[in-house]
Amino acid sequence: MTISLDKRGVSCTAVLLDEAAPRTAAAVWDHLPLSAPVFHGKYARNEIYALHPQFAPGDPGKENTTITPIPGDVCWFGFDGDDLGNPAYGYESEEEHRSMGAIIDLAVFYGRNNLLINGDQGWVPGNVFARIVDGLPEMAAACQDVWMGGARGETLTFARA
């Protein structure tokens, strides 16, 4: 699949980890393309992500989980609206997330030394369902620009290659 920061015109290619995370990989693949505003992680460190309303029939459950993703890992996190309703997270509309019900967070990790811990919730393991195999250096530079230059107006798109 391709992963793109649309406004910045940067894409990379990822392979689905069908053997390690078959339910998660299938849930994403079956619903591509997926596109939403991008956010940069506050707690995890070198992460960009997009929040989507529940698009699969159900949560795939835990598979191929990690709390220490490495550069190139692509992860799935499942939340409910109340998980993301704290104003400290910096979302413009707390009520929007609360009204979404189940929320799927698709995240790209672009650098080292990530740790998936949240001050409100503790450890937040994610399902590693894909791995970036081409274009990571360019994507990492664009992700760093999201951090330093801002995310407003940028979208993160996952599509079939």
Total domains, the chain: 1
pLDDT reported for residue 9: 98
Q: Give the range of the structural domain holding residue 122, as residue numbers without chain letter.
A: 2-159
**Which are the contacts of 10, defined by CB distance < 8 A and separation ≥ 6?**
4, 135, 138, 139, 141, 142
pLDDT reported for residue 61: 95
pLDDT reported for residue 42: 85
pLDDT reported for residue 118: 83
What is the full per-residue pLDDT of the chain (161 aa) written as tens digits? 999 999 999 999 999 999 999 999 999 999 999 999 999 998 889 999 999 999 998 899 999 999 999 999 999 999 887 666 655 555 555 555 555 678 999 999 999 999 999 877 889 999 999 999 999 999 999 999 999 999 999 999 999 99
Look at residues 25, 78, 82 and name the one whose alpha carbon lies nearest to residue 54: 78
Residue 83 maps to which CATH number?
2.40.100.20
Here the tokens at position 146 are: 């999201």
CA dihedral 23, 68, 80, 20 (to 10 degrees): 0
